[in-house]
Amino acid sequence: MRPTVAALLLLCSTVAHARPLVLWHAYRAAERTALEHAVDRWNQGSRGKDPEIQLLAVPYDAFPDKITAAIPRGHGPDLFIFAHDRVGDWAESRIIEPIEFWITEKHADRFLFKAIDALCYGDSLYGLPMAFKSTALYYNKALIPVPPTTTDELVALGRKHTHREQGRFGLVYDNNKLYFHAPWLFGFGGAIFDAKGRLVVHTPEATAALAFARRLGGPDGIIPPEPSTTLTTTLFNQGKAAMAISGPWMLGEIDQKQIQVGVAPLPRVSRTGKPASPFLGAEGLMLSSRCKQKSAAFRAMTFLTSDAVAIARAMEARQPVANQAAWDDPRVQRDPILSAFRRQLDTAQVMPGTPQMRLVWSPYDMALQKVMNGSATPDRALAEAQTEIRSYLSAMRPGARK
């Protein structure tokens, strides 16, 4: 037995030195190519000094489950790129490594504050931001010469372009999902958790936001019935939707030869005067707690999020990168779509990355669904959602665990 263990140990130690850093990502199309180019640069520059990076594309839907399952069992990647909303869970179960030990204030200043702050959980930093993603208003320039700046304008423009019998609509977005509903929720002054972390789903503001969304999506609204993200892309591509609410990922799916696409920040809510603030998601490059070459991995992280690489990613893939320097670069500034997403960032609200937030999605989506198909009033739907989420939260509390 003992020689076997010794032999295995020896084997492991020899393997460990030659082992490349495995990086999982869920990028597709241009974003993927841009990342591959960045990794090529690292692999060429680091020959002999640092381990190479090996990329593995993992489908987005399966990504978080794979991470949760693979890393604790030692089969996971050394590095991976994912949205920040699971950071709380992964930090609690010690799947990802805190990295603030290596970070200086100067280094942190490289990034847009909201993007790096999103990757923070419990006073520790769990990743370096690659990009930020939030929804914004897409509009078809052929139909809408000037994008609306208030919701009243939005509704008026929407009405003008809605012709149900022809299947044409003023606006399209997936109004059954909290992620896409969030701009209205925050624009009307609503929230999900208050400053003290208490659940505030059922409030007059949130009800008003939901009533507004119902007016948009109801029988005489400006949104097609049963919208989905696929329908959003399809209608916008066919020129049947004058405006759409979606994120930067939709850019790659739009046929820009057919459609003259414009992007603008979401309008102000006329009733409150507040901007409609979408959820901000930060895509972080995170380090597995089981990585065997952590300092080298951190050097690779620093490289992939460096200003030069970020500018290249922004230019090549039109990725809204998280580095300040990229936005100061005139080439990036000249891109009207990217700068629209950058302006949207100023009003966007960082999506909570806490484990508590994960319990909110499903009941809230259900409330939206009920209101949109008219089977419940906004008030009742939110009251039910609040009760439901509260019961989930109480099941999660340590008191219930032990």
Contact between 15 and other proteins per CB under 8 A = no
Residue pointed to by tokens 């669904």: 369
Binding mask 184-223 vs other proteins (x if CB under 8 A, - otherwise)? ----------------------------------------
Cα separation values, 116 from 105, 163, 346, Å: 12, 44, 14
Q: Could you tell me if 320 and 314 are in contact, meaning their C-beta atoms sit under 8 angstroms apart?
A: yes
Residue pointed to by tokens 């049963």: 226
Contact between 14 and other proteins per CB under 8 A = no
Q: Both tokens of residue 325? A: 């320097």
Binding mask 91-120 vs other proteins (x if CB under 8 A, - otherwise)? -xxxx-xx-xxxxxx--x----x--xx--x
Q: How far apart are the first and last CA of the chain?
A: 39
Pairing of strands 120-121, 124-125: antiparallel
Q: Both tokens of residue 209? A: 């936001």
Q: Both tokens of residue 234? A: 């399809």
Binding mask 274-293 vs other proteins (x if CB under 8 A, - otherwise)? ---------------xxxx-
Single residue of 224, 247, 284, 320 touching other proteins by CB under 8 A:
224
Restricting to residues 369-398, which ones interact with other proteins according to CB under 8 A?
Answer: 369-370, 373-376, 388, 391-392, 395-396, 398
Q: Could you tell me if 178 and 360 are in contact, meaning their C-beta atoms sit under 8 angstroms apart?
A: yes
Nearer to other proteins, 59 or 398 (CB): 398
Residue pointed to by tokens 């052929």: 142
Least Cα distance to 64 among 286, 314, 245, 363 occurs for: 286
Contact between 89 and other proteins per CB under 8 A = yes
Q: Both tokens of residue 321? A: 């990168």
Binding mask 141-180 vs other proteins (x if CB under 8 A, - otherwise)? --------------------------x-------------
Contact between 295 and other proteins per CB under 8 A = yes
Bridge partners of 55?
23
Footprint of other proteins on this chain (CB under 8 A)?
A: 1-2, 5, 8-9, 12, 16, 65, 68, 72, 74, 89, 92-95, 97-98, 100-105, 108, 113, 116-117, 120, 122-125, 167, 224-226, 289-292, 294-295, 355, 358-359, 362-363, 366, 369-370, 373-376, 388, 391-392, 395-396, 398, 400-402
